[in-house]
Structure formats: C-alpha cells, structure tokens
Amino acid sequence: MKTNFDFMMPSVNFFGPGVIEKIGQRAKMLNMQKVLIVTDSFLKQMENGPVKQTEASLRAAGVSYAIFDQVEPNPKIRNVKAGAALYKAENCDSIITVGGGSAHDCGKGIGIVLTNGEDVTKLAGIETLDKPLPPLMAVNTTAGTASEITRHAVLTNEETHLKFVVVSWRNVPLVSFNDPLLMLDVPTKLTAATGMDALCHCVESYVSENSNPITDAQAIQGMKLIGQYLRRAVANGHDLEARTNMAYASLLAGMAFNNADLGYVHAMAHQLGGQYDAPHGVCCAVLMPTVERWNMIASPERFADIAVFLGENVNGLSKMAAAERGIAALERISADVGIPANIKSIGANPADFKVMAENALKDGNAFSNPRKGSKADIIS
C-alpha cells in the first residue's frame, strides 16, 4: 500500500433528496448579495426545474440574482466572456452554477477571467491561478462529471476546436449540492452518457499511477454502485433509489479523480469533444474498453479487481483472463445502456487523428495513465 499521500476534499457538499432548499440560506451565510446564476436556456425554462428551485430559495432568503443562460454543451470561450460581461454589468459579487459539467465549468471559467486575467487559454495547465475566484456554489443536475466538487474547469476554444483544462484548487466551489430529485428528468441518453463518464472516472482513478488508498476506496465503491444501478437509472429515470445511488457514485468518483487524476481515455475524449462537439460521456464510454484493454498489461491485477467490482465471477481464471473479464464487463454495461460501439458514430475522421493524438499526449490527464504510449499508439 502507498503510505505517503495527500488528499483534498470539497469544502461542503449537501447530498440527498430535497437539499436544494438550503441554497438560499447558504448564500446568505456566504454573504452573497447579488448572485450570477450560470445555466442554459433549457434548464432555466424547465417548469419547477433546478433553476426555478434555486431562484425560489434565493428569493426566500432575500438574496438578489441575475441569470446567465447561454451555457453551451462543451462550454466555449465565448460563453465565458459573455457570462463575465453580464456579471460586471449586473454588479454581481458571486456565482451559482446550475446544471451539469458544462454549467459548472463555464461558471468556473467566468470566475477565472474575473480575477485571474481575461485570456483563459493562457491559464490552461495545473495550478496556474494566482487569485481566488469570486464566491462560487454549484447545484449539480447530472450524475457524471462531478465538476461541482472538482478542481478542473474544462473549456473549448471554438476557434481551434481544442478542449483545454484549467486545473486549480481555487476552482473548487465553496458549497455544492447533489439533489437526486433534480435528476429524475434527465433524458435516457444523457443518463447513460453521464453514468459512463462516472464509471470511467472510477476506472481511470483506480488504475492511475497517482491512485492512493483513499481514492481506491472511493473508486471501488463507485464501480460497485454504478455496476448495480446505472442500468436501472437508464431503464426508469424516476427510480429514485437508482438516481440517488448514481448521484452518490458520481460524487465518490469525483473525489477519487480529483486526487488520483485520470488517463488516456479522458485525454483522448477531450480531443473528440473539442473537434466534433460530441457529448463528453459518450466520448469516454466509446474509448474506454479499447484504451483499457491496451492498458491491461500495465496492471492485470487491477483490471481483474474491476471484473469483481462489476459483479463478474473470476474464480479459477488466470490473472490476464480475469482482467479480460473486467474489460468485457465494461463493454457489456456500455452496450446495455445504448452507447455506440466505435468512434465513427461521433463523426471521427481519420484525417484528424494525427493532430488529435499529439494533443491527447499533451493533455494533463495523459500523464497518470498506467501504460505509456506513443502518438502511433494513440492513433491506432
């Protein structure tokens, strides 16, 4: 067992059905006077949806707010700039993000440019932020990215189609909310994609070079819960037990990768997401079995463990055969929830692979992958 490691946790997380009601009171405790709510137009309009509930709680607590509802999936620099302009025009002093990873990352991006400099592309990398962001809270509505508790802000440069990450502990929201009642109406395809993203966080954390005993504990429990509940959440979105367990698994997965980091699946998924504007969870899910089968020789024991966490019987099998069962289990869950089998389905064009492979190897997630590859490996 690794005996020396650090472990960082989110400041405060409220978890469980109904916790969204506490947001007004928390805004008050943080002395937020005028909040910029960062979300998208669909969630803003949703009847009794997460934005309406956030507004109601803020109003009840006497906290003023303005709404920026222009977040796009795979949030773009133009979204960050527009949000920051509205923040200034409305004299806001704080931010609440409402949505999935895109809303949280856009809100982090807005906070970054307000206090650390206007060109967010220059801040890509690890621990590049000198100054704290404005006070930030996050209301999470998908069980997948865990951006509501992470130090990552994933943004896309719409001119270069490059997805980049600003990784800093200053990005972690002060308070986050995971209320599974807000997730009941997530559409089937998004439930599948985000659930597979969370599974990928667990798998990549578990086999990462930077894993430690705490991240292992979180990733293991996350995998067990996702193996048990993702199919149920996809089959019936109103299954509150399945939604609650998926929300919890996603949170565990986030704490794990916030510390253990990820690997080539995420490094490559960012290229597909940036180049083709494809849903992040689908990019991860499509790549995961192929990348992990290639990774298998680096750590067959860990992949054999994964087979067991996902409910496979590996008794009597050799280590490599058991590890292969782990990969097969990943393929099966992906197929069962309706994820396409290859990257053609998201428009991938081999003419783009050379540049995307070069960029994948530079992505911060690549460095903790357990097996080291070349550009040719990534392309193949």
- Interaction between residue 124 and ligand NAD (CB under 6 A): no
Interatomic CA distance for residues 363 and 262, integer angstroms: 11
- Interaction between residue 280 and ligand NAD (CB under 6 A): yes
What 3 state SS string does the chain have? CCCCCCCCCCCEEEECCCHHHHHHHHHHHCCCCEEEEECEHHHHHCCCCHHHHHHHHHHHCCCEEEEECECCCCCEHHHHHHHHHHHHHCCCCEEEEEECHHHHHHHHHHHHHHHHCCCHHHHCEECCCCCCCCCEEEEECCCCCCCCCCCEEEEEECCCCEEEEEECHHHCCCEEEECHHHHCCCCHHHHHHHHHHHHHHHHHHHHCCCCCHHHHHHHHHHHHHHHHHHHHHHHCCCCHHHHHHHHHHHHHHHHHHHHHCCCHHHHHHHHHHHHHCCCHHHHHHHHHHHHHHHHHHHCHHHHHHHHHHCCCCCCCCCHHHHHHHHHHHHHHHHHHCCCCCCHHHHCCCHHHHHHHHHHHHHCHHHHHCCCCCCHHHHHC
Interatomic CA distance for residues 162 and 165, integer angstroms: 10
- Interaction between residue 150 and ligand NAD (CB under 6 A): yes
Q: Which residues contact 316 (CB under 8 A, 6 or more apart)?
A: none
Print the binding letters for residues 95-114 with ligand NAD: x by CB under 6 A, - otherwise. Answer: ----xxxxx-x---------
- Interaction between residue 83 and ligand NAD (CB under 6 A): no
- Interaction between residue 224 and ligand NAD (CB under 6 A): no
Cβ of residue 325: shortest distance to ligand NAD, in angstroms? Answer: 27
Distances 212 to 1, 28, 230 between C-alpha atoms, Å: 8, 37, 26
- Interaction between residue 20 and ligand NAD (CB under 6 A): no
- Interaction between residue 275 and ligand NAD (CB under 6 A): no
- Interaction between residue 42 and ligand NAD (CB under 6 A): yes
Cβ of residue 84: shortest distance to ligand NAD, in angstroms? Answer: 18
Cβ of residue 100: shortest distance to ligand NAD, in angstroms? Answer: 2
- Interaction between residue 194 and ligand NAD (CB under 6 A): yes
- Interaction between residue 190 and ligand NAD (CB under 6 A): yes
Binds ligand NAD by CB under 6 A, chosen from 112, 123, 133, 186 = 186
- Interaction between residue 182 and ligand NAD (CB under 6 A): yes
Which lies closer to ligand NAD via its Cβ, residue 182 or residue 220? 182
Binds ligand NAD by CB under 6 A, chosen from 26, 44, 152, 161 = 152
- Interaction between residue 281 and ligand NAD (CB under 6 A): yes
Cβ of residue 274: shortest distance to ligand NAD, in angstroms? Answer: 9
Residues 297-316 that bind ligand NAD (CB under 6 A): none
- Interaction between residue 158 and ligand NAD (CB under 6 A): no
CB 193 within 8 A of CB 285: yes
- Interaction between residue 141 and ligand NAD (CB under 6 A): yes
- Interaction between residue 263 and ligand NAD (CB under 6 A): no
- Interaction between residue 26 and ligand NAD (CB under 6 A): no
Structure tokens at 156: 């896309």
Which lies closer to ligand NAD via its Cβ, residue 96 or residue 307? 96
Backbone angles phi, psi at 242, to 5 degrees: -65, -45
Binds ligand NAD by CB under 6 A, chosen from 13, 53, 57, 74 = 74
Which lies closer to ligand NAD via its Cβ, residue 268 or residue 307? 268
- Interaction between residue 364 and ligand NAD (CB under 6 A): no
Q: Which listed range, 24-32, 38-46, 53-61, 307-315, lies at the site for ligand NAD (CB under 6 A)?
A: 38-46
Binding site for ligand NAD (CB under 6 A): 40, 42-43, 73-74, 99-103, 105, 141-142, 144-147, 150, 152-154, 182-183, 185-186, 190, 194, 197, 273, 280-281
